Amino acid sequence: MTRIVPPTIAVALLGAASLSSPERSAAAAAFAPSPPSFGAAAVGRARARGGASSLGEANTLEGRTIADGGAIRPLSNFILVRVADIQDKTESGILLSKTAKIEKTEGRVVSVGPGKVHQDSGLPFEMPVSEGDGVVYGKYDGTMVEYNGDRHALIRDDDVLVKYEGEKLTVDGVGVCNENVLVLADETEDETSGGLLLAAPGKDSAESRPSTGTVVKVGPGKMAADGTRMAMTVEEGDRVKFRDFAGYEVDIEGKEYSVVKMPEILAKF
């Protein structure tokens, strides 16, 4: 069998025959393939995806190495989220004391489970988030784990209050899941029409949290047994009244919003 040598390499080989030993070694090195390089960014992306790095670094869970380079794989409707760093200073740069540090319940989705199935029909539920999405979830939701030395949380898809793309949570980039509704809460009045100041409501008072507001975003609806989405009976721009203490408060760009489930909205006006 005749071996065909590309012209450029053939010329180099023919020329090399007349070279001294050191010169031939240098020529051979020039045509040798370079080994692949792995930059820090590539390694970081691999670890962010929940897998072992290209350099063979093993993943760790709670300080223990996962065998055979394995990674956490959420089951059912669980989602693995890398939790945002604890805020230890204000936006203006003032350092916060240890007790005043803000532990955020938001982060970036690392991996997503396959989803649960409908209890009656067995049809699969579509997972509402994807890898790389930013999410905000309830304060007491999820199970904290240490994965690759960083704080992570395993939450359910129902725990997701809002999701967003990009680095920051903004009104334009925010989205809601399932039967959730994002409402811009009305501000609590602190004085009467005659100008008298009102006492601040207690923390546990129904007056401490507004239960009216304007609908900003509406989720796709709850999934029915046949796989279709149930209709949402409110739309963006509606003024609504919802149950006292219903939903969760979410701060977006300095304004207070409430994430309320559709059955908790009592009326619109």
- Closest C-alpha to 261, from 183, 181, 185, 175: 181
CA distance 227 to 125: 8
Joined together, the tokens standing for residue 85 give 């760093």
Residues 18, 48 contacting (CB under 8 angstroms):
no
Chain-centroid distance, C-alpha 32:
44
Q: What is the pLDDT along the chain (269 residues), one digit of tens a residue?
A: 444 444 443 334 334 444 455 454 444 444 444 443 333 333 344 444 444 444 567 899 999 999 888 999 999 999 999 999 865 444 544 543 444 344 678 999 999 999 999 999 999 999 999 999 999 999 899 999 999 999 999 999 999 999 999 889 999 999 999 999 999 999 866 555 555 555 544 544 445 678 999 999 999 999 999 999 999 999 999 999 999 999 899 999 999 999 999 999 999 99
User: What is the pTM (predicted TM-score) of this model?
Assistant: 0.70
Phi, psi (deg, nearest 5) at residue 124: -75, 140
